[in-house]
Structure 1
Amino acid sequence: MCGFRGRAAIAAGIGLAIVSFCPGLRAEETQTTCSKEDFESVVEAASGSLRDLNNQNRPVFQEKLRELKEKRHWSHDEFIAQAKPFVKDDKTAVYDQKADELLSAIASMGQEGAAAAAPDCALLLELRARMKMLVDTQSAKWSYMFEKLDAELEK
């Protein structure tokens, strides 16, 4: 199974394609035991990664929206209406739904792993994989929103 523990990959309930792109998930890099703190740190890392991603992208995105407002000479009310499709449309709704599902699973799995008498290391692998999927989903959403905005600025 591509160097992964079969039990861990199966128990994780995720495809090998997803697992294989998650750093630190190869069997030779995982511990044979895991602790409550490992689960807590994965959830904390997910929160930190998302916060960093938003802090990096939000100011740049807002500045580009202001550029578009100036370029189009929109009033404040026009700006509010015209900017909405750049942050909320059918595709961003799909990203948001996926992110919500992943956040829910991460929180649940993190609590389950931290509360278990004997932490399940396969569950920890799944938690790490979902964390990566969450960060990737949010990165893709930002990329999509920037692409739409950049295309509009070039017109």
Structure 2
Amino acid sequence: MNTPLDPCNALLLDNQMCFALHSTSLMMTKTYKPLLQELGLTYPQYLAMLVLWETDGITVGEISARLLTDPGSVTPLLKRLEAEGLLQRIRTKADERVVELHLTAKGRALHEQAKTIPGCILKATGLPMEQLEEIKQALVTLRKHLRESLDND
């Protein structure tokens, strides 16, 4: 009997953790898409807004750290959110290189509209909340180990 780590099976697509994660991520994003279109947001914009709804007034560096991305890639996204009137980017007086992000009234109002999204996603998964929480915790642990592995290189 072949196991997933047998040389015969090691490179089969369906045995790849990376493909399971990637394809699930694609399906999750597709599930979010129509819900977010009603809010006028893309999925990356929604993630940024989640951080801002949680912590208004954070810096670009802080939001990029929370989103596990670099500031250069999050800046265009933030500029689009600013153009939509959802946030303001304000340079700090103490250090003009530091940009703080502040929600506008429109950005805060969008938070109320977004409150239905988690329930819609829960329903779409067909899984009980307890099982989803276990999966999420397993993924967070996996991410932590992968990050540590990269840091040790």
Fold in common (TM above 0.5): no
Give the number of the structure with larger relative contact order, counting CA–CA contacts within 8 Å between residues 6 or more apart: 1
Q: Which has the higher strand share?
A: 2
Q: Which has the higher helix share?
A: 1
* TM-score (norm. length: structure 2): 0.31
* TM-score (norm. length: structure 1): 0.31
